[in-house]
A and B are shown apart, each in its own frame.
Chain A
Amino acid sequence: MTAVPQALASLKVLEFSGYAAGPHIGKLLANFGAQTIHVESSDRPDGFRIQYPPFKDNRPGYNRSGCFAFFNDSKYSVTVDLKKPAGIELAHRMAQWCDLIIENMRPGVMERLGLGYRTLAALNPRLVMLSTCNMGQSGPRADQPGFGSQLSALAGMCGMTGFPDRPPMLLYGPYIDYIASLLGSSAALAAVIKSRRDGTGVYLDVAQYECGLMFISAALQDYFATGRLAERCGNDDPVAVPHGAYPCSDDQWVTLSCWSDAEFAALAGAMRNPKLAAGPAFGTEAARREHKTDLDAIISAWTRTRSVDGVAETLQAAGVAAYPVVTMAGLFTDSQLHARRNFRVRRHPEMGDHCYCFPGFDLDEAPGDIVGPAPCLGADNDYVFREFVGLTEAEKKAYADKGVFG
């Protein structure tokens, strides 16, 4: 826990969202002090709580999901049954409490529930609301459901990943969700600044598809300018050669690349084979590309007799871009990540000590933190509705009697 006020300590956030893209925005804000409430119900909990492993001891349960924990640390959890009129009434009161709502339901769902932006903005004129979904709130395919793991195919990434003579490769995890959530968090903060400046709200429509295209904007611009289609090329690069992954003696892999003749000369020097860079076969970028198979074999023969850390250190010292291919286990023992406290252990009521991932940025004067573990489903009903929303005991009992907290 931090001892100084966090940068977003006065920001109040409500999430009607699940899975990755919406909750990751809220997590980033919560890590810097925003009071972030994750709204679910027992009937419709966040899908990550129940659908995706890993689960603690491999036993599924609402409060046992590592995947849910990853996206939801530092938040409060409440359960509100939005199928009940009284649940919507309570959601309206919560909307009057908050500065920012994040939702990632399919377009039209919030409106049908009575939680559309116009309705809520009438209750809270300074409200910022961010809606994020695969296609955005408009357009002929706005209502298409989907997940980021497949959306990266639509956004051009998979078609450019893999080898030319083999099928496209799907990327690891909901890659595009991370792009959209990082962009979304910056848009949300900009809108909050604007709202605080002039007292009026903002509605943000963030399409994950479009956010993903930012990642391949160079390939798109190249197509618009020249008609050239970016295609799969394995580990090759249009500029750097060599550029790839090479085996090491300890069954690990090292990646390296040379972006100029000078860098290749540095690589050859590190390999104690300076003649390699002077000869006609590998002396220029064009020659290295022409003799790529031979060059990769020479580099592999050198890396194969050395440990991955030894290769990476030797090449980095020589000014060649090189990193080990790190496994999940390796990440948790990485000294750089350890020094920057990237992983922080917090005790979860059911999962016990659990590692949470801190964002890759921090603030010197008001550092962020993993403020708390991921919340158990509905664990904060009593506190949130009393302390934040301001319900009296009688009001809480009335809502409970109507089954709203289910």
Chain B
Amino acid sequence: MRERGAQLGMLASIDWARWDPTQADQAEVDAIEAPVMKFFAGITKREFLTEGHRREMLGYPVLTVADIATDPQLEARGFFAKVAGLAETFCGAFAIIDGERPALRHAPGTPFTAVAERDSKWTGGQS
């Protein structure tokens, strides 16, 4: 907030090394939150996410499904997946295993080739 020249209000006078949130009453919390809310109202969700990450802040923006669908973090990890022959986009497997996100399966009886190969590797050829 200081970097951007935002009005700090009550924040400016607090010794954060000594301030104990468990001792603050609601009026004090409201006074602290007021300039913070005003500041956040002037930045975008993406900006908050980027700057929050850079500053190691414990905070996240409230994302919509549209935001999530284009989140670079998910894209980098290959989270969303297609299944051959289907137009839809799906959530992928929930874990990355040995550096690889398992492919989604087709319906039972029509194994996805990559999955079949992986299954074979894991089971040693046993079904």
Q: Which residues of A contact B (CB under 8 A)?
A: 135-147, 150-151, 153-156, 158-159, 168, 183-184, 187, 191, 194, 197-198, 202-207, 209-211, 213-214, 216-217, 219-225, 229-230
A152 to chain B, nearest CB (A): 9
A157 to chain B, nearest CB (A): 9
Whether the pair A150, B73 counts as a contact (CB closer than 8 A) is no
Q: What's the Cα separation between A210 and B91 when bound, in Å? A: 8
Whether the pair A155, B95 counts as a contact (CB closer than 8 A) is no
* A132: nearest chain-B partner, CB-CB: B95
Q: Is B42 an interface residue (CB 8 A)?
A: no
* A168: nearest chain-B partner, CB-CB: B62
Chain A proximity mask over B69-100: 1 for CB below 8 Å, otherwise 0: 10011101101100000001111101111110
Instruction: Answer whether A203 and B98 are a contact pair too, CB < 8 Å, given A210-B77, A220-B69.
Output: yes
* B76: nearest chain-A partner, CB-CB: A139
B116 to chain A, nearest CB (A): 16
**Inter-chain contacts of A203 with B (CB < 8 A):** 97-99
**Inter-chain contacts of B63 with A (CB < 8 A):** 153-156, 159
- Which positions 38-75 of chain B face chain A at CB distance < 8 Å? 49, 52-53, 56, 58-69, 72-74
Q: What's the Cα separation between A209 and B59 when bound, in Å? A: 13
* A187: nearest chain-B partner, CB-CB: B95
Whether the pair B77, A153 counts as a contact (CB closer than 8 A) is no
A51 to chain B, nearest CB (A): 11
Instruction: Answer whether A145 and B58 are a contact pair too, CB < 8 Å, given A154-B63, A155-B68, A225-B88.
Output: yes
Q: Is B23 an interface residue (CB 8 A)?
A: no
Q: State the 5 A-B residue pairs at the shortest beta-carbon distance, nearest first.
A: A154-B60, A205-B96, A139-B76, A224-B89, A223-B65
Told that A213-B79, A224-B80, A230-B64 touch, could you supply 15 new A-B pairs with CB distance under 8 A? A139-B73, A140-B72, A143-B53, A145-B56, A146-B59, A150-B58, A187-B95, A187-B97, A203-B97, A205-B99, A210-B91, A219-B65, A220-B65, A223-B66, A229-B66
**Inter-chain contacts of B99 with A (CB < 8 A):** 203, 205
Whether the pair A224, B88 counts as a contact (CB closer than 8 A) is yes
Q: What's the Cα separation between A153 and B58 when bound, in Å? A: 12
* B72: nearest chain-A partner, CB-CB: A140
**Inter-chain contacts of B19 with A (CB < 8 A):** none
Whether the pair A136, B77 counts as a contact (CB closer than 8 A) is yes
- Most B-side CB within 10 Å, residue of A151, A191, A206, A207: A207
Q: What's the Cα separation between A204 and B97 when bound, in Å? A: 5
Q: What's the Cα separation between A214 and B94 when bound, in Å? A: 8
**Inter-chain contacts of A225 with B (CB < 8 A):** 88
Instruction: Answer whether A213 and B73 are a contact pair too, CB < 8 Å, given A153-B60, A198-B122.
Output: no
**Inter-chain contacts of B65 with A (CB < 8 A):** 156, 216, 219-220, 222-223, 229-230
State which of B73, B80, B90, B122 has its C-beta within 8 Å of the C-beta of A209: B73
Q: Is B26 an interface residue (CB 8 A)?
A: no
Interface size classification for chain B: 35 or more
* A106: nearest chain-B partner, CB-CB: B56
**Inter-chain contacts of B52 with A (CB < 8 A):** 144
Whether the pair B58, A204 counts as a contact (CB closer than 8 A) is no
Q: What's the Cα separation between A225 and B88 when bound, in Å? A: 7
Q: What's the Cα separation between A209 and B22 when bound, in Å? A: 29
Instruction: Answer whether A144 and B56 are a contact pair too, CB < 8 Å, given A211-B94, A221-B89.
Output: yes
Q: What's the Cα separation between A194 and B72 when bound, in Å? A: 32
* A213: nearest chain-B partner, CB-CB: B91
State which of B56, B68, B96 has its C-beta within 8 Å of the C-beta of A213: B68
Q: Is B124 an interface residue (CB 8 A)?
A: yes
Q: What's the Cα separation between A139 and B49 when bound, in Å? A: 14
Whether the pair A159, B72 counts as a contact (CB closer than 8 A) is no
Whether the pair B64, A229 counts as a contact (CB closer than 8 A) is yes
**Inter-chain contacts of A202 with B (CB < 8 A):** 97-98
- Most A-side CB within 10 Å, residue of B56, B64, B92, B123: B64
Whether the pair A138, B77 counts as a contact (CB closer than 8 A) is yes
A175 to chain B, nearest CB (A): 13
* B101: nearest chain-A partner, CB-CB: A205
**Inter-chain contacts of A224 with B (CB < 8 A):** 69, 80, 88-89
Q: What's the Cα separation between A140 and B73 when bound, in Å? A: 6
B79 to chain A, nearest CB (A): 5
Q: What's the Cα separation between A385 and B72 when bound, in Å? A: 45
Whether the pair B94, A159 counts as a contact (CB closer than 8 A) is no
**Inter-chain contacts of A184 with B (CB < 8 A):** 95
Q: What's the Cα separation between A138 and B95 when bound, in Å? A: 12
Q: What's the Cα separation between A207 and B76 when bound, in Å? A: 13
Instruction: Answer whether A217 and B90 are a contact pair too, CB < 8 Å, given A136-B77, A197-B124.
Output: yes
**Inter-chain contacts of B79 with A (CB < 8 A):** 210, 213
Q: What's the Cα separation between A194 and B90 when bound, in Å? A: 26
Whether the pair B94, A198 counts as a contact (CB closer than 8 A) is no
**Inter-chain contacts of A141 with B (CB < 8 A):** 49, 53, 72-73
